[in-house]
Amino acid sequence: MKQLIISKTFIFIFVILFVTAFEAAFGEYNVLIGVTTVVALLMYLERDLTVSPWKNMMLLLAINLSQGILGQLAGINPWIGLPLNFMAMFIVGYFFTSNIKGPMHIAFGLQYLFILAAPVPLSDFPLRLSSLVAGALIIMLVQWIFNKRKLTKQGNRYFLQVCGHLQEKISRIRDKQPAPELDSLIQSDINGLRKVIYFRKIKGFYLTHEGRARLKISVCLEKLHLLLNRAAASDYPEEVLEALNIELNHMKDYVNNGRSMSDDSLVGLERAHKGHESAYIVELISTLKLLRELLMYLHTSEVSELNKVEKVVEIPKGYRNAYQFLKDINRYSARFTFALRLGITIAAAAFIVDYFNIKDGRWVLFTIFSVTQPYYETAKFRFKERVIGTLMGGAIFLVLFSIFHDMTIRSFLVLLVGYLNGFAVKYRNVVLTVTISALGTAALIGDPTVLTMRRIILVLIGIGMGMIANRYLLPYTLEKGTRDLMKSYKQVSQELLFEAGTYLKHRNNAHTINDLFALSTLIEERIISNNQMLQLEEMDDFLSAQRRLNHAIYEMFLRMQRENTDASLLGEILEELGLVLSLEGEGGNEQAGRLYDRLQISESLDEYILLKDALRIFKGFRKQALFN
């Protein structure tokens, strides 16, 4: 809690100082652009824009300048503004949201609305454009300061956290205690690492050498996690648990301090294997050895080496950014329907506000922007919460401003509520604090009661327009969107297996496999987020099965990359697996039974492990078929 208060206070002070400096540089009419710049730079810290800094800087400049120009032209008269406002908000809704990635449209949507709400005369337009250029440059400067080595810093942080959680899990196994919360933390940290890797791709497709190494590290950590979950607690020999715990300590020391890793834990595992003759221990040893190699590679390589990219082949058409943008232009895309809905609703509302010259009409626009969401259920939830938050905020504001009449005290109260807004988590509380701040700022030069009633009326009008749009204008339900994501997740598994088979033959599509595997994490995270509201009972089982299936396929891909792997044997097993998966019902089960029989009589440990991989993949696809 103490750390939260410190971080929120620091951010609040930074925002106040930044906005004050921005106002001093570009004038009071452009202060709101300073506000949206702060929002954008804080939001975009989650993404790594330094992977293509010049390209991203030019993109930000193009967006900011186009918004400035479109907003200025839209202010000439309502009829000119109608198509221009639609165009501007459609761009925000389409290019800054995704069916899979989290939305990043808020800052740029607010910025355009602020430009509409605070027009400037033509003589001040160059200064406005200058403020927009400065905003784009500041976002990239902050990116360069904080995200230049994000993959390294975040990669090490996630690695250390997962190792710590695994050690705690070992302790729980020894005490025969369940650890469901640890399982969630481990998977969350592994997914967090993969998201950082995903957003570090070159041209949206290629991974650097460091990215590929850290993706493999995430797979090794997940493998250790799965191994610890695979058997009952009584099946873990004590010497194996102790050796694994020691090895994790060695690796943590190596990452933290660069100390050389002792081989005593691996020797202990080799000794345990001789005593127990377990394929489980062999997999453990193999995983730890690969982890060591990857950590040593990262620690001993120069930065220039880690940033290299092997562009063996051209980016396949289906993975190019342009194709991804065009692919979603259809009636059944949440992204496209949201962009259309947002553009049409904001354009219509802005036209009405301008045509009838509605005082403080900007509150209608801000409300519509807030409650218009990609999914109908989310919008419906926000309708109710915004009404409650606005009424509560208005009531609290009236009480406070009725008690305190001194302007200094009122200004302090507005500042205090703005500070508390940083701690608001629930949407209702965010609306409450924003309402008090907005009314408080306006009431410093106006009548509090009149302002409160006007805001409530305008907010209710905005909510009404938003409800109609979300209900009748290309509605897209959360369940449909989530089911579509489940289909995409299944499709990724099928493509992963196909690409793995292709890699064994041609060795030129590793980037495609890495991209698919990292993408599956984003799909999973979006499904988890959606299901917090949907609460579909089968979702936990579905995600667990998918995660294990994709891990099994990627692990087989890693085996292909090892020099000591028998490529002909692996090709033979993959061919048998393909035959099994192509058959349905009893035919498939009968063919799978032959793989089981072969597993039982196998005298080669390598063959045994490859057959186990194949059967895990078979089980994964069979389980996948149970979910619609």
Residue-wise pLDDT tens digits, 483-532: 999 999 999 999 999 999 999 988 889 999 999 999 999 999 999 988 98
- Gap between the Cα atoms of 101 and 585, Å rounded: 36
Both 18 and 143 in a single domain?
Answer: yes
Both 497 and 594 in a single domain?
Answer: yes
Residues with Cβ within 8 Å of residue 481, at least 6 apart in sequence: 99, 334, 374, 375, 530
CATH code for the domain in which residue 189 is found: 1.20.58
Query: 199 pLDDT exceeds 80?
Result: yes
The sign of the CA dihedral 30, 35, 41, 43 is: negative
Both 91 and 235 in a single domain?
Answer: no
Are 279 and 202 spatial neighbours (Cβ–Cβ below 8 Å)? no
SS percent in the chain: helix, strand, coil, step 5: 80, 0, 20
Both 67 and 167 in a single domain?
Answer: no
Residues in a beta bridge with 277: none
pLDDT digit string (tens) for 404-421? 877 778 777 777 888 888
Q: Residue 545: which of 445, 443, 619, 441 has the closest Cα?
A: 619
- Gap between the Cα atoms of 253 and 230, Å rounded: 27
CATH code for the domain in which residue 533 is found: 1.20.120
**Ordered DSSP codes for 547-569:** HHHHHHHHHHHHHHTSTTS-HHH
> What is residue 233's predicted lDDT score, i.e. its pLDDT?
47
Domain boundary, last residue among 149, 181, 197? 149
- DSSP, collapsed to helix, strand or coil, labels residue 495 as helix
405 lies in some domain: no
> What is residue 275's predicted lDDT score, i.e. its pLDDT?
67
Q: Residue 497: which of 581, 409, 394 has the closest Cα?
A: 581
Are 167 and 65 spatial neighbours (Cβ–Cβ below 8 Å)? no
pLDDT digit string (tens) for 338-383? 999 999 999 999 999 999 999 889 999 999 999 999 999 888 888 8
Domain count, the chain: 3
The model carries a pTM of 0.89
Phi and psi at 202, nearest 5°, equal -85, 130
Which of 104-118, 253-267, 393-407 has the highest average model confidence (pLDDT)?
Answer: 104-118
Q: Residue 27: which of 129, 140, 142 has the closest Cα?
A: 129
Neighbours of 14 (CB within 10 A): 12
Residues in a beta bridge with 515: none
540 lies in some domain: yes
Tell me the two tokens of residue 518. Answer: 């990292």
Query: 336 pLDDT exceeds 60?
Result: yes
544 lies in some domain: yes
317 lies in some domain: no
**DSSP code of residue 538:** T
Listed range (18-22, 433-437, 604-608) with the worst mean pLDDT: 604-608
Are 375 and 477 spatial neighbours (Cβ–Cβ below 8 Å)? yes
**DSSP code of residue 206:** B
Both 21 and 145 in a single domain?
Answer: yes
> What is residue 176's predicted lDDT score, i.e. its pLDDT?
81
342 lies in some domain: no
Mean pLDDT confidence for 50-64? 93
For residue 331, name the pLDDT band (cuts at 50, 70, 90): confident
Both 75 and 160 in a single domain?
Answer: no
Q: Residue 474: which of 598, 379, 386 has the closest Cα?
A: 379
> What is residue 320's predicted lDDT score, i.e. its pLDDT?
77
pLDDT digit string (tens) for 116-161? 999 999 999 999 999 999 999 999 999 999 998 899 999 999 999 9
Neighbours of 237 (CB within 10 A): 17
> What is residue 445's predicted lDDT score, i.e. its pLDDT?
61
- Gap between the Cα atoms of 555 and 287, Å rounded: 10
Both 88 and 235 in a single domain?
Answer: no
pLDDT digit string (tens) for 425-470? 788 888 888 888 887 776 656 677 888 898 889 999 999 999 999 9
Residues in the chain, overall count: 628
413 lies in some domain: no
Domain boundary, last residue among 118, 149, 180? 149
Query: 588 pLDDT exceeds 80?
Result: no
- DSSP, collapsed to helix, strand or coil, labels residue 101 as coil
Mean pLDDT confidence for 165-173? 92
352 lies in some domain: no
Both 10 and 139 in a single domain?
Answer: yes
Both 176 and 41 in a single domain?
Answer: no
Query: 85 pLDDT exceeds 90?
Result: yes
Query: 333 pLDDT exceeds 80?
Result: yes
- Gap between the Cα atoms of 286 and 559, Å rounded: 10
Both 117 and 171 in a single domain?
Answer: no
65 lies in some domain: yes
Three-class secondary structure assignment of 256-302: HHCCCCCCHHHHHHHHHHHHHCCHHHHHHHHHHHHHHHHHHHHHHCC
Burial (CB count within 10 angstroms: exposed 0-12, middle 13-18, buried 19+), residue 602: middle
Cα-based angle 619, 499, 609 (whole degrees, multiple of 5)? 45
Domain boundary, last residue among 281, 307, 333? 307
Please report, rounded to a whole number, the percentage of residues in the chain having pLDDT higher than 90: 49
- Gap between the Cα atoms of 232 and 238, Å rounded: 13
- Gap between the Cα atoms of 235 and 577, Å rounded: 29
Mean pLDDT confidence for 232-243? 73
Both 194 and 206 in a single domain?
Answer: yes
For residue 556, name the pLDDT band (cuts at 50, 70, 90): very high
Range(s) of the domain holding residue 198: 150-307
pLDDT digit string (tens) for 86-113? 999 999 999 988 877 767 888 999 999 9
Both 133 and 249 in a single domain?
Answer: no
Integer CA distances (angstroms), 343 to 90, 102, 121, 206, 467, in order: 5, 19, 25, 33, 15
- Gap between the Cα atoms of 136 and 40, Å rounded: 9
